[in-house]
Structure 1
């Protein structure tokens, strides 16, 4: 990693040497001063959210690029901050929020990231508008699931594999084209050569944490697979991972045992026999991700591959838009834009052998 400035370099050598010695990639990060970030954020005037770590603000660089600034609470351990920055900076993938730089001044620890404008998957799934739930067709759910799985697959396959450790819908952001971007690497880990890491502290979010990790204290890439299985359940049921004392994984297990799993499916997408069969395939995939025996769980490479096969089998009737409705389509040359409520889904079309073929931008062919 190429850090700019002696003080910047010294900070990471002092507080992150144990991680630095295990990284392979070399990405440049910009060093920001506290005054520069005050200017960028207009003195922290626009809040994007907050959490146990601190607050997130919207800002704008001198070239007018919008950014998100994560400002850590005073008292944050420098070693934990350095680890997050170093681990995040190793990942160069279109479906991971890009880290641009950070501030390492005393009592002013902050990171600067690209700004992702359309909220997160949790909001789409569970926060409706005045008209009810936000329309969310099955093909779009699959597209988001596939690209998220591919990002995790890439992270797990790196020279120094990266375990995210906190996969959940709230950490899957959606950009202007509603492509997913994994975020929040606060508890991410670089895995050892044996692809496992022991920790004394249980980390992650209730409802998504691998129960095997809770028992053993050992983190592996299969811990992310378990969490992703919960996300798949949320995407096909539109139910929260935990809702009061109710656990989605427990409800799912009981439904599988009683062969009543179809009753859990979101009625918006379970509207014909063909789709129900494909949703059942997603449910079966989720079930394998949720197996208690981690060796029985698939890898994220296998998860992404199975999701792509399901996506390919998804029927699309002639004359029907990718959103399942016929109004609100705008044709603009090589692009088709479908507007649903305030949500915009975007696809690229390419001309091959006399026909227009639909592909997902920056992704794999649908």
Structure 2
């Protein structure tokens, strides 16, 4: 026989809402399997009478002391909880400690990869900054040693001891540029920045951080001759301050090849303007040509006589005359210049100059005087008058030298045959004849018969 019973006619939810449930502490209400009523049952981990409270009701079961079976795995410690229990594995083992679970196990011996990785990361975090500091210190020391080497190699010691031509003359106002700044300014001396080249090196256009545009002169060769020319040009230009002479801004001794930094002239050379592009939209007018002649004559006169020790340029030619956007002339390239004591003639061990401009007397005797620059300036005057190159003019059969060509026509009284057709209509014939006469006097074979540059400058100033 099966006996089924239940309390009341309400199910658990109804009894709870009406507070009529008679279930005791630590018990739970369950609906009867019949049509109505409910029953009470002790909660999990408790045993006793679910309809009573206190000691007579549902009490905690001490699972650790049960006689009907071990609840924890061997070696584990059973701890009674209210309700339930907890199996604790001994130290040095792992697992849940339960007899019905995975129990307790000793850890397998394994290679401490994680520990090693952590130690390596920590060590690297300390070692890398130390190595970087050591590397940076070494690089700085190497750079200082290299800069000192280049400084000596580029004549820095000689430059410090270079004798001044007169008391109070110095080059202390010349700025010393760093190699890093010049590399940045010129795009690491990119070939697209080259604005001119010659026997003394190439000129690179550079832009400084403050926006100032500069010209950097870099020699293509490394040798004692280049160093001597560098020191020579630096010392000479460091003493000159004239509006028609290109201004030297500074130098750099930290590179393998010494560098000179000049003001940047945005135009072209007189040679390019007269000879390289006959289709230029803006040709040099007679007014501009006469002004260029005056400005260069004044610049040479300044070199020869306005300082205590004369300076001889030795390479006056149209390609060493720069023109800005307004055709203002500036004399440039002083690599082969020489300081010469007053009332002395310098005997040069090597004749310097350019074919077509070179003074024949200087070429023959190797004796350098101020009249050598006068001769070369006379050739520049012929270029301004004729628009022709100093040598090998392809337009005239049998033409070899502009000087000889000019003199032969002047002697026959045919100056018109030599003059540039573009300026004949613009210029006064009297001025053209005067310039031709000045040029003729500058080109005399004997230097003592030539005028000084001061006299030439004065004559040019009276024209136009």
The TM-score normalised by the length of structure 2 is 0.62
Aligned counterpart for 1:239 among listed residues 383, 388, 391? 388
Q: Distance in 2 between matches of 1:234 and 1:200?
A: 30
Which residue of 2 is the match for residue 117 of structure 1? 266
For residues 49-128 of structure 1, the aligned pairs below 5 Å read 49-77=196-224, 78-105=227-254, 107-128=256-277
* Unmatched tracts of structure 1, length 5 or more: 312-366
Residue 289 (str. 1) matches residue 438 (str. 2): no
* SS in structure 1 of the partner of residue 229 of structure 2: helix
In the TM superposition, structure 1's runs of 4+ consecutive aligned residues that sit over 6 Å from their partners are: 5-11
1:144–1:180 contact (8 Å) kept in structure 2: yes
- 1:123-138 equivalences in 2 (<5 Å): 123-128=272-277, 130=279, 134-138=282-286
Cα separation, partners in 2 of 1:47 and 1:146, compared to 1, 3 Å: same
SS in 2 for 1:105: coil
Distance 1:250 1:108 in 2: 40
1:54 Cα offset (Å): 2.6
Question: Structure 2: which 5+ runs fail to align?
Answer: 1-146, 394-398
Which stretch has the larger CA shift, 118-127 or 10-19? 10-19
- The reply on whether 1:22 has 2:169 as its aligned counterpart is no
Task: Quote the residue 2:338 is aligned against.
Answer: 189
Q: Give 1:18 shift.
A: 7.8
Q: CA deviation at 1:129?
A: 5.3
Q: 1-side partners of 2:314 and 2:160: how far apart?
A: 21
* Aligned position for 2:185: 40
Cα-Cα RMSD: 2.3
> Does structure 2 conserve the Cα–Cα contact (< 8 Å) formed by 1:119 and 1:173?
yes
- Are 1:250 and 2:396 an aligned pair? no
Contact 1:262 1:280 in 2 (8 A): no
Question: Relative contact order, CA 8 A, sep 6+: which one is greater?
Answer: 1
Cα shift readout 1:77-117 (whole Å, capped 9, x = no counterpart): 22232111111211110111100111123523110000001
Aligned to 1:147: 295
Find the counterpart in structure 2 of residue 306 from structure 1. Answer: 459
CA contact (8 A) 1:125 1:134 kept: no
C-alpha distance in 2, partners of 1:118/1:22? 33
Query: Equivalent residue for 2:428?
Result: 275
The alignment's TM-score, normalised by the length of structure 1, stands at 0.78
Contact 1:269 1:275 (8 Å CA) reproduced: no
Structure 1 counterpart SS, 2:294: helix
2:176 pairs with 1:31: yes
Larger Cα-atom Rg: 2
Aligned residues: 305
Q: Distance in 2 between matches of 1:13 and 1:128?
A: 41
Question: Structure 1 residue 42: deviation in Å?
Answer: 1.7
